[in-house]
């Protein structure tokens, strides 16, 4: 698991040029870029690193700074950053993975109470790295944890959304047309939190397991 920065699958896209000028000029212009990494800091949105065709690298741009190739910047909607990404980062320790099963189309339910369609790129998840470091965030709290699925939206934007905002479309499997009514999990699942068993006191490779219910009663 990386600290602060992590590699991502390379994205060839366009950057809105005003983000390269502190939002002070060049509004409505774009230039080609290659996004190659992320930075993760608690309390901030997920941030992306990009290299331009002049060889310059610009660090820590929000997902709203980018639009896809072959899209006219004047025709791509400009949602707010918080409409494209629902949650800030949960930790300095991001994990990046591409889930093959999710490499399909999907849609997310936005703050505007509308569905936004797109396709899966990769996933960013978070955890706490070391039991000797005080955990002050929510990356491992069951009911608070969120991941960020990065999507290329059909309107030319990109989005970072958690599981409970997205429905994926696998034509041969996701055949039920419904929105789940599941409840948030609050339980920490563990197989070693019971005092009713213990391993046998032996050096046998295939050791036995002993019930300890009587011991518990005493």
**Res 32: pLDDT:** 98
Tell me what pLDDT residue 111 has: 96
Question: Count of domains in the chain?
Answer: 1
Residue with tokens 């970072």: 160
* Domain encompassing residue 53: 5-169
Task: For residue 20, tell me if it sits in a domain.
Answer: yes
Q: What are phi and psi of 78, to 5 degrees?
A: -120, 70
The Cα 119–Cα 150 span in angstroms is: 9
Q: What is the pLDDT of residues 35-54, one digit of tens each?
A: 999 999 999 999 999 999 99
Mean pLDDT of 175-182: 92
Is residue 175, in this structure, part of any structural domain at all?
A: no
- Residues recorded for the chain: 218
- The three-state (H, E, C) secondary structure of the chain, written as one string: CCCCEEEEEEEEEEEEHHHHHCCCCCCCCEEEEEEEEEECCECCCCEEEEEECCCCEEEEECHHHEEECCCCCCCCCCCCHHHHECCCECCCCEEEECCHHHCCEEEEECCCCCEEEEEEEEEEEECCCCCCCCCCCCCCCCCCCCCEEEEEECCCCEEEECHHHEEEECCCCCCCCCCCCCCCCCCCCCCCCCCCEEECCCCCCCCCEEECHHHHHC
Measured between alpha carbons, how far is 45 from 43 in angstroms, rounded to an integer?
A: 7
Give the pLDDT confidence of 146-166 residue by residue, as tens digits: 999 999 999 999 999 999 999
């Amino acid at each position: 698991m990386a600290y602060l920065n992590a590699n991502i699958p390379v994205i060839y896209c366009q950057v809105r040029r005003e983000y390269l000028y502190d939002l002070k000029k060049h509004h409505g212009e774009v230039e080609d870029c290659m996004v190659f990494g992320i930075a993760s800091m608690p309390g901030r949105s997920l941030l992306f690193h990009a290299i331009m065709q002049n060889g310059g690298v610009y660090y820590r741009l929000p997902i709203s700074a980018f639009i896809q190739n072959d899209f006219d910047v004047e025709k791509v909607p400009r949602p707010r950053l918080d409409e494209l990404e629902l949650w800030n980062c949960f930790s300095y320790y991001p994990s990046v993975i591409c889930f093959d099963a999710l490499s399909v189309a999907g849609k997310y339910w936005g703050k505007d109470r509308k569905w936004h369609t797109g396709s899966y790129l990769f996933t960013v998840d978070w955890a706490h790295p070391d039991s000797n470091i005080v955990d002050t965030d929510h990356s491992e709290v069951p009911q608070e944890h969120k991941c960020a699925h990065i999507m290329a939206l059909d309107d030319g934007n990109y989005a970072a959304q958690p599981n409970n905002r997205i429905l994926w479309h696998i034509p041969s499997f996701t055949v039920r047309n419904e929105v789940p009514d599941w409840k948030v999990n609050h339980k920490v699942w563990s197989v070693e939190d019971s005092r009713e068993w213990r391993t046998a006191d032996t050096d046998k490779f295939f050791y036995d397991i002993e019930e300890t219910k009587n011991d518990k009663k005493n």
